[in-house]
Structure 1
Amino acid sequence: MNWLSRLSCLCLPLGVLSLSVPAHAVPMPEKPEATAADLNPFVESSSQIWDAVVALPDNRLVLEAPRWLGNIAPQISISTAGGRPTPYPNADWNAAEGDPQTRFVAVTGMTRAGDGTLWIVDSGVPDREQKPEAPAKLVGIDPSTNKVTKVIPISADALRQGSIVSGIAVHEQTAYVADSGVAGVIVIDLKSGVAQRFLDHVEGLTAKRPIMAAAGVVKARDGRPLAIDASLIAISPDGKWLYVMPYCGPLFRVATTLFNDPNSTNTALQESATLWYRTHALGGLTVGPDGTLYWSDVTTGSIDSYTPGRIPHHLITDPRLKWPGGLSLSGNTLFVPASQLDQAARFQNGQATVQWPVTVYTFHVPDDATSDVLRK
């Protein structure tokens, strides 16, 4: 079953999902805690749609420009504040042709692990409506040397027909990769390369409504509402909890112990995803060192946070945040691309309506945004 064949059931509004939110989940406050002065441009592009970024500790920013949005090379680039992005780790890895094992075919996600390694997900699927061009793989890069240190093919038995690997979260030597084409999570041992598939078609990972942007429902090329399964994924600092969701939301939480317990039954795994927060459609999800979740809301053009104690903070809503994408935290600063993803040509009858430049903003996180005290 591919990502376009599940659209007949996508007319459920946000409030009528069959799963209920626990009583202690607090609604998102209406009043933002920050102002427009806390949101500032970092780097701009007049030719690429950046849908995600990763901040490095040396003030460089890794930028993702996937082929499925119609971007030209490079798919991965790097820049400093106000600088000119350059291909990363080099031009060869961003070449349009060549051995698919030594270049990016279709980048769909990235993250920085605790040991500093930058992990890139390459789905091998440059057009979500077409067959793969190459096998899926993970690419590890050492930012201190700007060298590729490891390439891990994702074994075919961990995939399904129509699979499109997407977001990635890493804890120590384990990678968790979301399958946005056929709902599921692939758990990969980064030392051995062994991959196992879990949560196949689990309800919490399957899109049940259209992706709603500020301008309305996002539609596929054929005019039907767009649905994308498990896409956003993050892991708690202690590695105990995996947060995962379809693009449209809501957000679910899964205990990672279930993936390592040989006594876990299929029923336990199928029932393991707990509704954690009833979000809108999100463009990005990340977690801070204290366990606070940060996300970018494409429906409202907002950045929000959610503490380990389940207290939501509405950080900012700003008209410049047009489809805020995959964000990254460095210290008390969030880096967030205003990607305008829904204005790409594939969603606009073949003619892009992006208002250039696409801008990555820095956002100063308010000091109390990680507080578990509810603000009125």
Structure 2
Amino acid sequence: MSSRSITRRLFLSSVATGMVGYPSFKQVKATELLSVVARSPFIASGVAVSHESEIFLGLPRFPGMEKTFSLARVNSRGEPIPFPGGSWNTWQKGQNSARAFVMVNAIHLFHDNTLWVMDQGAPIGSQPEPGAQKLVQLDVKTGRIIRVLSFPKAIMPSGARFNDLRIHGDLIFVTDSGLGGVIIHNLSTGKTLRRLSGQKVMRNDGVHLHRGIGGRILADGNGKRPDTASDDIEVDASGTWFYFAVPAGPLKRIGVADLLNTALTDDQLAQKVEIVAEIPSIGGTCMDTHGNFYLADAENSRITVLSPEGKRATLVQDNRLISPDALFIDRNRKLYIPCPQLQKLAFLNSGRNEAHAPFLVLSMPLPESLNGIPLGKGVEG
């Protein structure tokens, strides 16, 4: 069976289980599963956990969060403290933004146990200065800056915004949520590609609307809805498929080999993008080595699992899961869930800011299986 046929079967399975109203899931008592691992005075939208179980948080500079120190390590009391310290954590408007964290939109930790930080380089509504939009790699033990990557206008033109990243082998994959697109940087050769730039498949289609709890359409006080392009991103454990979505879905994919084939134009690449499944509005994802997707469902305050065969099940549902965001599975198969309450911020909540501290990061052990979906030994891919 062709890969396109497999994808179509997965998509139709999603339809059959209730694409409009979403499937009926077995409910789990969240209070028995979820533990609070961090309480932050600032919005925490990203989490990463080292091989030694140290927890790191991304603290973006959203309106009202101007005093954030942007990147934190969680101490033994569950409190975030600045990491790595010094000028990297103390940026203020007017200061040099090339060597400080300004608008941390994502953090992640991969097989080599170093921390990667995605900095958009400017608060919402501002344009980043040259060099401000960057990827920063840090030593998790010492906080030493290992490398800083920024790209020229050919790769990051005006209006482009870093969003999320994944690493597979020597390749860094980065989504652009401003114009839409994917940046692929080879750590060994130093070569960088920008692919699917501005293509419709990378942008919201106007049909899938970004929603919050109860299906509320997110908008500011003037009714303006967010226009976020390619956002969530995963690469499967084999490095075969690149998955992506805008917050409102659907989930799509394209072959990594196609993305790397410079003989294909962006228009030709767009024709190779496949729809994998319809999904609710999400804040973030992660993917385990079994190929299961974990979806941070912002409409229903839950984490759902989508298997490669199209099965869906609720992992956990809890009222504390307000705008659950970038998920992370550590080496002990614990799932970490930041709850930044983004849908309560004024620009997504009809002009009213109802978000309030503490901003929680929750954690739970993953079961061996879930409603027939095997999860055992499936760490993050």
**Which range, TM-score by smaller chain?**
0.7 to 0.9
- Three-state SS of the structure 2 residue aligned to 1:217 is coil
Q: Please, what TM-score do these two structures have when normalized by structure 2? A: 0.85
Secondary structure in structure 2 of the residue aligned to 1:211: coil
| Residue of structure 2 in register with 1:205 after alignment | 202
- Specify the alignment match of 2:5 in structure 1: none
Q: Decide whether the 8 Å contact of 1:65 with 1:76 is kept in 2.
A: yes
Query: Residue type matched to 1:293 in 2?
Result: F
User: In the TM superposition, what whole-angstrom CA distance separates every residue of 1:203-228 from its partner, at most 9, and x where no partner exists?
Assistant: 33211243100051111354312221
Q: How much does 1:160 deviate?
A: 2.9
23, 44, 52: which one pairs with 2:12?
Answer: 23
Which amino acid letter does the alignment assign opposite residue 296 of structure 1? A
Instruction: Name the amino acid aligned to 2:128.
Output: P
Letter of the structure 2 residue corresponding to residue 362 of structure 1:
S
Distance 2:165 2:181 in 1: 12
Bigger drift between 137-146 and 277-286 goes to 137-146
Aligned to 2:109: 112
The whole-number CA distance in structure 2 between the counterparts of 1:123 and 1:134 is 11
Distance 1:276 1:35 in 2: 30
TM-score (norm 1): 0.86
Q: Residue 202 and residue 372 in structure 1: after superposition, are their counterparts in 2 closer, same or farther (change >3 A)? A: farther
Of 166, 169, 176, 1:169 maps to 166
- SS where residue 156 of structure 1 aligns? coil
Is 1:159 the counterpart of 2:148? The answer is: no
> 1:108·1:166 contact (CA, 8 Å) conserved in 2?
yes
Q: CA deviation at 1:195?
A: 2.1
C-alpha spacing 1:164/1:115, structure 2 compared with 1 (3 Å): same
Counterpart residue number, 2:361: 360
Please list, as runs of the form range in 1=range in 2, the aligned pairs for 1:23-102 lying within 5 A after superposition. Answer: 23-25=12-14, 27=17, 29-32=23-26, 34-36=28-30, 37-45=32-40, 47-71=41-65, 72-80=67-75, 82-97=77-92, 98-102=95-99
Asked if the contact 2:57/2:107 (under 8 Å) is kept, the reply is: no
Aligned residue for 2:225, secondary structure, equals coil
* Deviation (angstroms), 1:372: 4.3
Let me know the Cα RMSD of the aligned residues.
2.3
The worse-fitting range, judged by mean Cα deviation, of 166-175 and 187-196 is 187-196
1:351 positional shift: 5.3
SS of the residue corresponding to residue 305 of structure 1 reads strand
Structure 2 counterparts to residues 326-345 of structure 1, below 5 A: 326-330=326-330, 331-345=332-346
Whether the 8 Å CA contact 1:21–1:275 is kept in 2: the answer is no
Give the conservation status (yes or no) of the 8 Å contact 2:27–2:317: no
Aligned residue in 1 for 2:378: none
Give CA deviations for 1:59-115 in whole Å, capped at 9, x if unaligned.
Answer: 221111111344222111010454321111223211214432221122122221222
Q: Structure 2 stretches of 5 or more lacking a match?
A: 1-7, 375-381
Identity of aligned residues (%): 23
SS at 1:110 equivalent: strand
1:293-352 deviation line (CA, Å, top 9, x unaligned): 212110111101122333222212211111111111113211101211122244456653
Matched, 1:185 2:182: yes
The equivalent of 1:237 in structure 2 is 237
CA, structure 1 residues 310+351, in 2 after alignment: closer, same or farther (shift >3 Å)?
closer
CA distance in 2, matches of 1:218, 1:108: 19
**2: distance between equivalents of 1:157 and 1:342?**
33
Q: Is the 8 A contact 1:52 1:284 kept in 2?
A: no
Return the alpha-carbon distance in structure 1 between the equivalents of residues 342 and 222 of structure 2.
17
Shift in alpha-carbon separation, 1:370–1:57, aligned structure 2, 3 A: farther
Instruction: Give 1:164 deviation, angstroms.
Output: 1.2
